[in-house]
């Protein structure tokens, strides 16, 4: 990082998103300020962790972090603004919901939202910066739980299994059922889906 942020003297917020590449569901971002007095071991890129380990770390993060928040952009906002702008909006909302406000924000990736915060984008930050790893875990667990709940509301699409990503099974379900209200109509595989029955 361009500035020394690891001495516990600043409120450092990590930010990451989940759901950007999905065909269905909101895009979520989490922001986390870790407490240097209550370190959490085992933080890592959420994609490298088992679901059980993510769940355990999620509980530990929520119990021990100085602050955490979730921001989202809805399916309607994704379809209106495009997924990049919606993702940046979700990040803005997550950081805006933090209390106290961070002194510095580190964001996974190579793009920053248009905001007033002192900040830095860090490629692969979720594997390198603990507070970004924590944010990735919180965002992933939160969204996965939402997609499991959505699976009960709209059975047949397999949301509990693929979490909205464009797997072969998901695309086959789309072709047979047509999109549901939680599908992103601005995404080509959803637009191409021809309803064989009502969109439920």
Q: In what order do the strands lie in the sheet with 119-122?
A: 67-73, 27-33, 12-18, 104-108, 119-122
Q: Which fold has domain 12-143?
A: Nucleotidyltransferase; domain 5 (3.30.420)
Distances (CA, A) of 128 to 2, 43, 45, 117, 169: 14, 10, 8, 21, 33
Specify whether the CB–CB gap between 140 and 53 falls below 8 A.
no
Taking only the tens of pLDDT, the chain with its 200 residues reads 444 555 456 899 999 999 999 999 999 999 999 999 999 999 998 989 999 999 999 999 999 999 999 999 999 999 999 999 999 999 999 999 999 999 999 999 999 999 999 999 999 999 999 999 999 999 999 999 999 999 999 999 999 999 999 999 999 999 999 999 999 999 999 999 865 444 44
Measure the CA–CA gap between 174 and 141, rounded to whole angstroms: 25
Beta-carbon contacts of residue 161 (< 8 Å; ≥ 6 apart): 151, 167, 169
Q: Where are the domains of the chain?
A: 12-143
């Amino acid at each position: 990082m361009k500035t020394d942020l690891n001495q516990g003297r600043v409120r450092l917020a990590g930010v990451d998103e989940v759901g950007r590449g999905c065909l269905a569901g909101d895009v979520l971002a989490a922001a986390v300020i870790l407490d240097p007095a209550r370190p959490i071991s085992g933080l890592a890129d959420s994609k490298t962790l088992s679901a059980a380990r993510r769940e355990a770390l999620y509980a530990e993060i929520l119990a021990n972090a100085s602050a955490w928040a979730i921001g989202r952009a809805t399916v309607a906002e994704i379809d209106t603004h495009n997924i990049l702008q919606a993702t940046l909006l979700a990040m803005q909302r997550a950081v805006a919901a933090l209390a106290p406000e961070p002194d510095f924000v580190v964001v996974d990736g190579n793009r920053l939202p248009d905001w007033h915060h002192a900040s830095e984008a860090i490629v692969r930050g979720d594997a390198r910066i603990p507070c970004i790893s924590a944010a990735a875990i919180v965002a992933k667990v939160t969204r996965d739980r939402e997609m499991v709940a959505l699976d009960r509301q709209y059975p047949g699409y397999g949301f509990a299994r693929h979490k909205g990503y464009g797997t072969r099974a998901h695309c086959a379900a789309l072709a047979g059922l047509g999109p549901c209200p939680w599908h992103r109509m601005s995404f080509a595989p959803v637009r191409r889906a021809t309803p064989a029955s009502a969109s439920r």
